[in-house]
């Protein structure tokens, strides 16, 4: 805002001379005319004195009649010239331009500032940390903006988008008690959204010494009742089952999760390692071998069942030509957005350049808003962007690559980050 005010002040200083100086110069010319009038009046008075002296000299016999007549004629000619000039000058009215110049110089800045304060938006000039009120992925990173949003939600508590933004922002900042409070309000407003219950369980556990027992487990059960294929709910439910020693449930949840992931993704191998560990623990329990025998064999899912119908997956790599322009710790965003209507991301994955080349999967569990999902659109575009600032909104100098228009459910995508944002 300071820069804006400086620019406005400079513009006013540039504009004022064009208005004030012509008026001031006009007023100065009027002063010159006034001085000329005074000078002419003095000349007339001198002529009158000379005429009086001629008459006195003639009367005293100091001047002959012929000389007197000639001198009289010369004075009359000079008198006519002076009277003509003086008359023209006196008839000029006084110009108030100088007063107007002073009034404009004072009132124009005052009026301009008053008008802006009356109809302008001073809040629009406040500096925003990150990209503004919120970045392109619905995350606020400014403490002042978070407090402002809190006040707005106190006045409008029925705003689910506001609570979601607040919850995501607090989660990103690892302020888990505040995130729990925000999700508590959010699930009251949107009670039938599986992803919200899964996120609620996640932050509740982080605020509970990272334990998923108790309330987090109840939230996860709610999420799976709404969507049995929600990947976050399946992952956390498997972890909760391991924590309470229910290895059969852990294997079941994680096996279902593995069926949702592409067979060539890095995450699926981690899930299978967890399944194998759960099987080993189950075998050590009394009667565990019998339970293992009743469980289905752990086998890799077919490509047809690798991911939900609307999930998109593939590989992201960085062009060798741009390798020198990215640091290993630079943020990498992979996201899908609708090519029609709003351009807000429908699903987002956040990594770092050091994770490249990266196998990725984007699905409804990564939705930024409950009502905006991959499964709800017909055409999307997947973008991979390297951001030095950590800001998901494209900035000059960012590196990116994209797929072009594709259908949700597309697999085997190959995105090469090969261009620089201008």
Burial 184-218 (b: 16+ CB within 10 A, else e): ebbbebbeebbbbbbbbbbbbbbbeeebbeeebbe
Name the strand (E) or helix (H) holding 5: helix 2-59
Structure tokens at 217: 């487990």
Structure tokens at 350: 């956040």
- List, edge to edge, every strand of the sheet that includes 312-318: 358-362, 312-318, 413-417
Single out the residue of 347, 309, 329 nearest to residue 388, CA to CA. Answer: 329
CB 146 within 8 A of CB 169: yes
Those residues whose C-beta lies under 8 Å from the C-beta of residue 398, and which sit 6 or more positions away, are 385, 386, 387, 388, 420, 421
pLDDT tens track for 1-30: 555 667 777 776 777 677 667 766 665 554
What are the CA-CA distances from residue 350 to residues 166, 261, 335 (Å)? 19, 17, 9
What are the CA-CA distances from residue 420 to residues 3, 322, 333, 362, 389 (Å)? 29, 9, 15, 24, 15
Task: Output the pLDDT for position 264.
Answer: 66
pLDDT tens track for 349-379: 889 999 999 999 898 878 777 677 888 888 8
**Region 301-317 average pLDDT:** 69
Name the pLDDT band for 197 (thresholds 50, 70, 90): very high
Name the pLDDT band for 52 (thresholds 50, 70, 90): confident
Q: Is this prediction's pTM over 0.85?
A: no
Q: How far is CA 61 from the centre of its chain?
A: 102
Task: Output the pLDDT for position 304.
Answer: 41
**Region 388-400 average pLDDT:** 85
CB 86 within 8 A of CB 44: yes
Phi then psi for residue 401, to 5 deg, are: -145, 160
Residue 44 burial by Cβ neighbours in a 10 Å radius (0-12, 13-18, 19+): middle
Task: Output the pLDDT for position 94.
Answer: 52
Name the strand (E) or helix (H) holding 111: helix 97-119
Burial 333-361 (b: 16+ CB within 10 A, else e): bbbbbbeeeeeebbbbbeeebeebebbbb
Those residues whose C-beta lies under 8 Å from the C-beta of residue 258, and which sit 6 or more positions away, are 268, 271, 272, 275, 301
Q: How many Å apart are CA 76 and CA 21, to the nearest integer?
A: 43
pLDDT tens track for 155-178: 999 999 899 989 989 988 889 999
Residue 16 CB: number of other CB atoms within 10 A?
15
Phi then psi for residue 363, to 5 deg, are: -145, -175
Q: Is the predicted pLDDT of residue 322 greater than 80, yes or no?
A: yes
CB 97 within 8 A of CB 30: yes
């Amino acid at each position: 805002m300071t820069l804006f005010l400086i620019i406005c002040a400079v513009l006013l200083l540039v504009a004022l001379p064009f208005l004030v100086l012509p008026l001031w110069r006009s007023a100065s010319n009027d002063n010159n005319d006034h001085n000329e009038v005074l000078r002419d009046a003095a000349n007339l008075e001198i002529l009158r004195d000379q005429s009086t002296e001629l008459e006195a000299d003639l009367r005293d016999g100091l001047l002959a009649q012929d000389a007197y007549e000639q001198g009289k004629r010369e004075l009359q000619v000079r008198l006519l010239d002076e009277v003509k000039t003086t008359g023209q000058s006196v008839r000029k009215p006084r110009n108030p331009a100088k007063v107007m110049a002073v009034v404009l110089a004072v009132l124009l800045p005052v009026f301009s500032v008053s008008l802006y304060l009356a109809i302008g938006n001073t809040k629009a000039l406040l500096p925003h940390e990150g990209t503004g009120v919120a970045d392109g992925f619905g995350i606020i990173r400014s403490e002042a903006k978070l407090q402002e949003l809190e006040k707005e939600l106190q006045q409008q508590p029925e705003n689910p988008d506001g609570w979601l933004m607040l919850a995501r922002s607090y989660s990103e900042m690892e302020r888990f008690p505040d995130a729990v409070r925000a999700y508590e309000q959010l699930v009251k407003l949107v009670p039938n959204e599986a992803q919200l219950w899964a996120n609620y369980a996640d932050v509740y556990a982080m605020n509970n010494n990272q334990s998923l027992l108790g309330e987090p487990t109840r939230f996860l059960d709610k999420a799976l009742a709404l969507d049995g294929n929600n990947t976050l709910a399946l992952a956390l439910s498997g972890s909760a089952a391991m924590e309470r020693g229910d290895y059969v449930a852990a294997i079941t949840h994680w096996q279902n999760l593995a069926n949702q992931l592409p067979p060539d993704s890095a995450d699926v191998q981690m899930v299978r390692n967890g399944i194998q560990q759960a099987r080993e623990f189950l075998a050590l329990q009394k009667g565990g071998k019998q339970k293992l025998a009743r469980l289905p064999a752990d086998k890799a899912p077919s490509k047809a069942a690798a991911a939900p119908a609307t999930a998109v997956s593939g590989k992201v790599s960085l062009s060798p030509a741009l390798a020198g322009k990215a640091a290993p710790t630079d943020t990498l965003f992979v996201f899908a957005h609708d090519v029609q209507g709003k351009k807000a991301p429908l699903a987002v994955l956040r990594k770092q350049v050091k994770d490249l080349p990266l196998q990725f999967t984007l699905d409804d569990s990564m939705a930024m808003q409950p009502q905006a999902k991959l499964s709800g659109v017909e055409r999307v575009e997947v973008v991979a962007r390297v951001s030095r600032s950590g800001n998901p909104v494209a900035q000059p100098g960012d590196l990116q690559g994209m797929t072009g228009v594709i259908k949700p459910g597309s697999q085997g995508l190959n995105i090469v980050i090969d261009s620089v944002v201008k």
